[in-house]
Amino acid sequence: MLKQIYHSIEAFYEEMVHIRRHLHQYPELSFQETKTAAYIANYYETLGIPYETNIGGNGVIATIKGGKPGKTIALRADFDALPIQDEKDVPYRSKVKGMMHACGHDGHTATLLTLAKALITYKQELPGTIVFLHQHAEEYAPGGAKPIIDSGAIDHVDAVFGTHLWATTPVGVLQTSKQAFMAGADCFTIEVQGKGGHGAYPHETKDAIVIGSQIVSQLQQIVSRRMNPLDTAVITVGIFEAGKAFNVIADKASLVGTVRYLNPDLQATIMKEMEAVIKGICMSQDATYRFDYIKGYPPLINHKEEAALLLQMDQHIKEITKTETIEPSMAGEDFAYYLQKKPGAFFFTGAQKDKQPFPHHHPKFDFNEQAMPIAAKTLITAYLAYQTR
């Protein structure tokens, strides 16, 4: 049956590409994906597959109940876009100004929709129940995964699998990990309040730029000097705003950044150390501050046995030439919440298009569409393999 399913997936390749390119032209941002959700729901309506909408927000869940007894397994695809202007010169370039699918979520959606269509013929032969989990708002915390979980929509699920089309990995390569696979991703804002004044009289001021610069420098020493070298973490200040004139000492400075970590226990330590650094510097300079730390997605930690199933995919799918365990990515993913709730695993499906591909979240991002049927085959193979565990 598996080979027949593979053949059906291949037969629907052109439709898969059509769906992906349609979605690519009409992106919607996180928590605003009403038209995309309606498109997904309408597709299942046409296929006659039962579905529910407005799950945890804009989420859509469809279900195929097989003719044989078995486990209930969710396969997840996200469908939100990013606030980036599409700069690709392709016919399917985004038609929405300032928005584009710069991370492959259009491909994830096309993959899952077409997989559902390919499986209808084999419904009576399938064991268990397949839950097609279409999730909104992956890109923007607090994300769509947590409200979907909180809604109870996956309480009955035994396991969950998901993939990310990875544009910097060659087609035919599947990557995952049996442990931490992606980082926890938090963000922070620091507001420094000093005392402004004339650039010629610094002794009469409390220079917010100097104070902010000291904070930036000292924050880097938290990872290098305050943490175990074997623990992986990143503290990045991505925005530093202060001052309006060349001859005026700024009274305020704003710093915005992100924290990444793999060990969930590190979050509290990093927060404590950051507060100590900021407070100490500001006190020494007789300045005040406000520190806002927003907890984002937790680290994505795969379950060992489920990840092991994925690492055997090259034995089943001829297009997969290599499966490999890789070092964790410091990017974040709210699929992490599903793995806190249920067994499962997340993996990268190689989707490199060019020799020097543009990375995810780049204005010229694109991926090799031949990766989509590979992702579809992997998801259904993982589903069936899990049934026999």
Is the alpha carbon torsion for 163, 169, 174, 176 positive or negative? negative
Nearest to 334 by CA among 296, 360, 305: 296
CB 50 within 8 A of CB 80: no
CB 46 within 8 A of CB 113: no
First to last CA, the chain: 18
Residue 105 annotated as part of some ligand binding site: yes
Residue 139, CB-side half-sphere exposure with 13 Å CA sphere: 23
CB 174 within 8 A of CB 381: no
Is residue 65 exposed (0-12), middle (13-18) or buried (19+ Cβ within 10 Å)?
middle
Beta pairing partners, 74 = 131, 160
Residue 139 annotated as part of some ligand binding site: yes
CB 177 within 8 A of CB 344: no
CB 215 within 8 A of CB 281: yes
Give the C-alpha separation, 370 to 360, whole Å: 18
Tell me whether residue 89 is one of the annotated catalytic residues.
no
Tell me whether residue 369 is one of the annotated catalytic residues.
no
Backbone Cα Rg of the chain: 23
CB 346 within 8 A of CB 133: no
CB 116 within 8 A of CB 49: yes
Helix (H) or strand (E) holding 166: strand 159-166
CB 375 within 8 A of CB 163: yes
Nearest to 260 by CA among 177, 182, 183: 183
The total number of residues written for the chain in this structure: 389
Q: How many CB atoms lie within 10 A of CB 45?
A: 13
Residue 156 annotated as part of some ligand binding site: no
Catalytic residue, candidates 33, 78, 80, 251: 80
Catalytic residue, candidates 33, 138, 186, 273: 138
Nearest to 293 by CA among 141, 139, 82: 141
383 Cα distance to chain centroid: 21
Residue 164 annotated as part of some ligand binding site: yes
The residues carrying an active-site annotation are: 80, 138
Q: Which residues are annotated as a binding site?
A: 103, 105, 139, 164, 361
Annotated binding site for Mn(2+): 103, 105, 139, 164, 361
